[in-house]
Amino acid sequence: MILKWIECIVPFQKRNAFSQAQAKWGQLKRIDGFIGQIGGWEKTDARKAFILAFWTDLASYQSFMNNEHERFVQENQQESTYDFISVSLYSNEDQVNVRPFLERGEMVCYSGEYMDKALKFNSLLAHDSSIYISAVEECNKCKDIIELEKEWRVTQSQKEG
């Protein structure tokens, strides 16, 4: 399983435009290998937007990036809504159930010490460390708490039959 972690710095005056563009990624539900995507705003810094996308495997993700990604970007015109973007890829050898992470209204993401009920994803890049994600409701020791935006959520369950 692949986790794509995207961080954007969004000027306050462009937050609405960013959110509207992010909501247009719903077409991902039709892409082979796509599992789900969520995202939202960091609670401690309202300029930071985070998006987490889950893919079944690296081959499916790379096929999307090579064949479809540019079309998505052009259609939603999201590039003009942020000042900075950072993308990291992580993997987990198991096909774990990420439904709890896709359905919660809040998520904790952090590097460092393992926490109960967290999933560990190992970086695919040598310079990045591992990342843990957890769908816990409260965590007093966690700093990177993301309030999820419902409109940004795309899941397999939304795939049309």
Whether 30 has a pLDDT exceeding 70, the answer reads: yes
- Residue 60 tokens read as 């499916």
Domain membership of residue 49 as a residue range: 2-103+146-158
Q: What is the pLDDT of residue 135?
A: 54
Q: Note the pLDDT of residue 91.
A: 80
Q: Is 113 a member of any domain? A: no
Confidence of residue 79 (pLDDT cuts 50, 70, 90): very high
pLDDT digits (tens, 9 = 90+) for 80-138: 999 999 988 888 776 667 766 676 655 555 555 545 555 556 555 555 555 556 555 45
Q: What pTM was computed for the model?
A: 0.78
**Pairing relation of β-strands 131-134 and 119-123?**
antiparallel
Q: Would the pLDDT of 29 be above 50? A: yes
Q: Evaluate whether 119 touches 132 at the Cβ level (below 8 Å).
A: yes
Instruction: Indicate the average pLDDT of the chain.
Output: 77
Report yes or no on 140 lying in a domain. Answer: no
HSE (side-chain half, CA atoms, 13 Å) at 2 = 19
Q: Does some domain include residue 136? A: no
Domain assignment present for 120: no
Residue 127 included in any domain: no
For the beta carbon of residue 133, count every other beta carbon within 10 angstroms: 27
Residue 52 lies in a domain: yes
pLDDT tens track for 83-93: 999 988 888 77
The number of distinct structural domains making up the chain is: 1
**Residue 57 belongs to some domain of the structure:** yes
**Residue 131 included in any domain:** no
Categorize the per-residue pLDDT at 158 as very low, low, confident or very high, splitting at 50, 70 and 90.
very low
Give the angle 56-59-64 at the CA atoms, nearest 5°.
Answer: 90
CATH number where 23 lies: 3.30.70.100
